[in-house]
C-alpha cells in the first residue's frame, strides 16, 4: 500500500518534469542573416529589407537604393606613397581593394593629402541593372585594384557587364572572373569608371 502511494506522486512528478522540460526547450525563431546584419551596428537598419527566395532556390535581399560608402586613404610619408585600402559596400558583398603604393590621386588632390574614396551602387528596376560608381574621378591604380561586384540582387545567373562612358554610352566589357554560384564579378582596374551589371540590353 505504501509503495503504491509513493508511485503515484513520483509518476506525477516525472510527467510534470517532462512537460516543463519540453516547454522550455522550444527553439525561438531566429532572424535571417540580413536581419542580423541590420541590427549588428555595422549596417543601418534602413538599408535592409526582408529576404525573398526565387524559384531557382536563390535567396536574395532587397536593399534600399542607392547604397553608398566611403573610406579615407592616408599617405605614408616615409615611403612617399599611399596606403592600401579595402572598401566593403555593405550590406552587399561588393568590395573594392587596392594595395599600398597603388593609388595615384587625381590632379585636383595635392600629392600627400588624404583621399576619400567613394563606392556606390544604384539599381535601375526598369532595366533590371545595377550601376556601380566610384570617386574621386581621376584616381589611378598601379598595380591594378581589385573590384568585386555582387549582382545577386538581379536574380540572374550570368549577367552582362558594361562600362559606362562619360557620355552615357554602354560598352560591353568582359570581367576577369565570374563566380556564377556566388553571383559575383571580379575586375582588375587601373582607373575609376562607372559600370553597369545587367541581364542584357
Summarised one tens digit per residue, pLDDT across range 62-112 is 678 899 999 999 999 999 999 999 999 999 999 999 999 999 999 999 999
- Please give the radius of gyration of the chain, using alpha carbons only, rounded to the nearest integer: 26
53 domain-assigned:
no
Backbone angles phi, psi at 111, to 5 degrees: -55, 125
36 domain-assigned:
no
Find the range with the poorest average confidence among 25-34, 80-89, 114-123, 140-149. Answer: 25-34
188 domain-assigned:
yes
Domain containing residue 101: 65-198
149 CB-near residues (< 8 Å, 6+ apart): 94, 130, 132, 161, 175, 184, 185, 186, 187, 195, 197
Instruction: Give the cell for residue 186.
Output: 571580379
Question: How many domains does the chain divide into?
Answer: 1
H-type helices in the chain, by residue range? 2-24, 33-38
pTM: 0.67
CB 57 within 8 A of CB 63: no
24 domain-assigned:
no
Q: How far apart are CA 83 and CA 125, in angstroms?
A: 37
Q: How far apart are CA 153 and CA 128, in angstroms?
A: 9
Q: How far apart are CA 159 and CA 75, in angstroms?
A: 37
32 domain-assigned:
no
Instruction: Give the cell for residue 125.
Output: 528596376
Instruction: Give the cell for residue 138.
Output: 581621376
CATH, residue 163: 2.60.220.30
Summarised one tens digit per residue, pLDDT across range 14-48 is 433 433 333 333 333 333 333 322 222 333 333 33
127 domain-assigned:
yes
99 domain-assigned:
yes
What's the whole-number average pLDDT of the chain?
Answer: 74
Backbone angles phi, psi at 146, to 5 degrees: -100, 130
Amino acid at each position: 500500500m505504501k509503495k503504491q502511494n509513493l508511485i503515484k506522486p513520483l509518476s506525477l512528478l516525472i510527467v510534470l518534469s517532462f512537460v516543463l522540460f519540453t516547454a522550455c526547450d522550444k527553439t525561438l525563431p531566429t532572424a535571417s542573416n540580413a536581419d542580423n546584419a541590420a541590427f549588428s551596428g555595422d549596417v543601418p537598419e534602413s538599408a535592409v529589407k526582408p529576404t525573398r527566395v526565387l524559384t531557382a532556390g536563390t535567396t536574395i535581399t532587397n536593399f534600399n537604393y542607392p547604397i553608398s560608402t566611403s573610406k579615407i586613404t592616408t599617405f605614408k610619408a616615409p615611403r612617399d606613397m599611399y596606403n592600401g585600402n579595402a572598401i566593403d559596400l555593405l550590406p552587399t558583398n561588393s568590395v573594392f581593394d587596392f594595395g599600398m603604393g597603388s593609388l595615384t590621386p587625381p590632379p585636383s588632390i595635392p600629392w600627400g593629402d588624404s583621399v576619400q574614396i567613394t563606392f556606390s551602387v544604384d539599381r535601375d528596376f526598369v532595366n533590371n541593372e545595377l550601376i556601380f560608381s566610384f570617386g574621386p574621378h581621376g584616381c589611378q591604380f598601379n598595380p591594378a585594384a581589385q573590384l568585386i561586384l555582387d549582382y545577386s540582387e538581379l536574380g540572374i545567373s550570368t549577367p552582362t557587364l558594361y562600362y559606362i562612358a562619360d557620355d552615357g554610352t554602354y560598352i560591353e566589357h568582359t570581367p576577369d572572373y565570374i563566380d556564377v554560384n556566388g553571383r559575383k564579378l571580379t575586375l582588375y582596374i587601373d582607373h575609376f569608371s562607372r559600370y553597369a551589371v545587367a541581364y542584357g540590353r
